[in-house]
Amino acid sequence: MKKRGRPPGYDHNEALDSAIQVFWTKGLSATSLDDLAAAMKMNRPSIYNAFGNKTSIYRKTFARFVAELGEQLDRELFGEPDLNKAMKQFYRTALDTYFTGTAPLGCFVTSTAVVEAAAHPEIREDLEVVINRIDSVIEKRLLAAQQDGSWPKDRDANNVAKLLHATLQSLAVRARGGESRTSLEAMYSGAVDILC
């Protein structure tokens, strides 16, 4: 028996993917429930019953995006044995995401959560978790390179991981601000060559 108010063919993940695009473009504050209803192809009561209020929907989309990001991090950073090539491939894939669509949106996390963190403690906590997760995965990749002898053992993996992550965040902001992909490719390539 179908739950009342949900449209035929309702798919939880598809609905969240549609909501991600709205939040990514407009941010949490500027997104209305009508925007979400149109994108998710659900009426407002159905959205509320399935996902909760607007902040709850945003946090669910955030969690879904971060889970996919975690898989991408592992695939890009550990699928290539050469550290320099792995980092450049990671940034290249990030730019593929940032430049999807008609206007570059940057990173979903950087473009939305940073703005909302001051007003929403729960989003600030979500943001802190993802920042620490990305730092940790990059640091783990650097430590692996130290172990196999391809990256100097006297380098501080923790701080370099944060710098590489900061490069990713800067790429996101600059992409959303209109900087060209060619310029951003030169930027990340230079950063990787210096740090890796």
Residue 23 and residue 58 in contact, taking contact as beta carbons nearer than 8 Å? yes
CATH topology of domain 63-195: Tetracycline Repressor; domain 2 (1.10.357)
Structural domain boundaries in the chain: 63-195
End-to-end Cα spacing for the chain: 56
pTM: 0.88
In this predicted structure, what is the pLDDT of residue 9?
Answer: 53
- Segment (H or E) for 51: helix 44-51
Q: Of 21, 126, 141, 26, whose CA–CA distance to 81 is shortest? A: 141
In this predicted structure, what is the pLDDT of residue 2?
Answer: 42
In this predicted structure, what is the pLDDT of residue 137?
Answer: 96
In this predicted structure, what is the pLDDT of residue 94?
Answer: 93
In this predicted structure, what is the pLDDT of residue 1?
Answer: 39
In this predicted structure, what is the pLDDT of residue 181?
Answer: 96
Tens of pLDDT, residues 57-82: 999 999 998 888 888 888 999 999 99
Task: Give the chain's residues under pLDDT 50.
Answer: 1-8
Tokens of 80: 């290539």
